[in-house]
Amino acid sequence: MGKKTRSRRRKNGGADSDDDDLSAGGAAGGDYLSESHTIDGLLSQGDNNTLGSVPDDSSWGIHDNDDDEAYHKKHISEDDALQAAEATQQKLAEILGSTVPEFASEKRSSKREAMLKMWFKSLTHYATMAPYDVVEQWREELVKACSQYALLRGSPAEQYAGCRVLEAMAVLIGDHDLYEQLAKRLTRTIQATQKAIPVRVSALRALGMIVFCGIDDDVITESVLDLCEQVVQSQYRGQTTPLALRAAAWQVWTLLATTIHELYVSGKTDDSIGRGLVLLPIVSECLETDQANNILLKEAAGQAMAYIHDCRLRLGVNALDGDRHQVDTTDAKYTLGSWEGSEWDDDVDEITQTIYELAHASGHYISKRAKKEQRHVFRDYLGMLQDNESPEVVVNFRGGTLELTKFGDIVALEFVKRCLQGGFQVQLLTNPTLQVIFGCDGAVLGDSNGYSQLEKRLLLSKTSEASKLKDQGRHKGRKKRQNVKDHFLTADGDAI
C-alpha cells in the first residue's frame, strides 16, 4: 500500500518529477491549479504561528484612494522616514534569513508554498532601498529555491508562486546574470505541455520581465520575441495552445516590442518586414475566436494590434514598405504614417471592424460587468486605430500624479502593475529602474505632508516595526538592569 502511495505522489508532481518528464501523470498534477490561481491571500494555507502573519494587499493601503484626514494633519520628519526605511529593511532581512535556509529541508508542500508567497510579499513591499543589498545577499539562495526546488520538484501551486518570486526579483535586481541563471529553466517550463497552465503563464511573464528590466541585448530580446510568436499560434509543440498562454504570449510580445525600433515592428525595408506585420493574420484569428473564456486573449491581441498601429504612425511617411515618398523633409517630420496603399491595408481594416464590434458588444453571452470592461478596453483600441488617439492614464500619488500618454508606456504600466500587485506604488516611488522606464521622480511623487497607509502602519501603529524595535530595546534594558541588581546581591556567593 505504501508503494502505491509513493507512486501516486510522484505522478502528481512530487519530489521525483522533472521538467522534461512528459508522462501522463505530469498533466494530472495541474488539474487542481485553476487558471484563475493568484498569489493573493498570502499564507492562506500556511502556518501563521511558524512563518509569521503577513497582511493581504488591501490592508497595506497602497492604492490610489489613500486619504485619511486624521493623519494628514501630522508632518513626516526625515528621522521618521529613515526609521521607516530601516524598519522595512530589517523586516526583509528577518523574513529571508529565517525562511530561505529552511526551504530545501521543509517536507510539507503547503509550508513551502507559504514561504514562497511570503518572499513575494516581502520583495514587493519591503525592498525599498536601492541597491537592494539584502536581496543581493540572498540572491543565489532565492534563485536556487525557486528554480531548482519549486519549479523542478514542487507542486503546481509552488511552481506558480516560485515564478512570481522570480518575476518580482527581476524588477529589483534584473540583469544579464539573472537571465543566464533562469532563461533555460523558464523556457523549458513554458514548453513543458504537462505543466499546469498558470505555471506556464507565470514562467513566460517572468522571462519577459527579466528581459524587459535587465537586458539591453537585441539578440536576447529577439529570441524571446521569437518564442512569443511561436506560443501565440493556435498549435504549439504539437498540441492546442491554451488560451491563457496565448494571451500571456501576446502581452509579453507587446511589452518587449516597446524596447525595439518601430521599423522592426510595423515597417518594411528591402531587407526585412516588421514582426507585427507578419502577425496580423494571427491577431485577426485571436479577435474572432468564439471559444468560451477568451476575453483575455482578445484584449491581449487587441493591445498588440494597437501598438503595431502606434509604431506605424510614429514611423511617418518615410521608411514604410520600402518606398520613398516624394514629401518635403520638413513636412515628413510632422506627418504620421498610415496603412493606406500598403499590402496590409485590407487586413487592418478587417481587424478594425472586429474591434469596433467588440467595443459595441451587446447580448447575454457575458456578464454585464465583463461587457462594460470589454467595451471600455476596446474603445481605447478603436480610438487608436480610427482616430490615432492614444489613451491617457493617470496614476495618483500623495505628492502628485504620473500621466502617461505614450501607448508603449501604458503597456509597460499594465504589465508591471500585474506583477507587483499591491506593491506597485511603493516600488515606483523607490525603484530607480521603474523610475527610468516611466520617466518620473519618486521623491516628487511621494512628497507629502501626511502619512500614507503604509507609513501609518510602520510608524504610528502599536504593532508597527518601529514600535516593536522600541519595545524590544526597552525590554533588553530592563533585563540588563535586573541582571545587574541580581549580580550585586549574589556577588559574595550567597544566594538570597
121 in a domain, yes or no? yes
How large a percentage of the chain has pLDDT more than 70? 74
Last residue of one domain, picked from the residues 191, 216, 241: 216
* Residue at 478 is within a domain: no
pLDDT at 6 over 90: no
Question: Which of these ranges, 180-194, 281-295, 379-393, has the smallest mean pLDDT?
Answer: 281-295
Residue 50 falls within a domain, yes or no?
Answer: no
pLDDT at 265 over 80: yes
Domain total in the chain: 2
Mean pLDDT of the residues in the chain: 80
pLDDT digits (tens, 9 = 90+) for 98-137: 999 999 999 999 999 999 999 999 999 999 888 899 999 9
The three-point CA angle 212-218-221 to 5° equals: 45
Q: Is 92 helix (H, G, I), strand (E, B) or coil?
A: helix
Residue 206 has pLDDT above 60, yes or no: yes
Q: Is residue 39 a part of any domain in this protein?
A: no
Last residue of a domain, one of 174, 197, 216: 216
- Nearest residue to 344 (alpha-carbon basis) of 288, 407, 281: 281
C-alpha distances in angstroms, 419 versus 202, 409, 415?
10, 15, 6
Its domain, for residue 432, covers 407-455
Residue 438 lies in a domain: yes
Of the three residues 171, 196, 216, the one that is the final residue of a domain is: 216
322 is a domain residue: no
Within a domain: 357: no
As a whole number of angstroms, the distance between CA 239 and CA 242 comes to: 9
- Whether the pLDDT of residue 11 is over 50: the answer is no
**Coil vs helix vs strand at 98:** helix
Beta bridge partners of 396: 401
Q: For the domain that residue 201 is a member of, what is the CATH number?
A: 1.20.930
Domain assignment of residue 293, yes or no: no
- 304-342 per-position pLDDT tens digit: 999 999 999 998 865 455 444 444 444 444 567 889 888
Q: pTM for the complete prediction?
A: 0.77
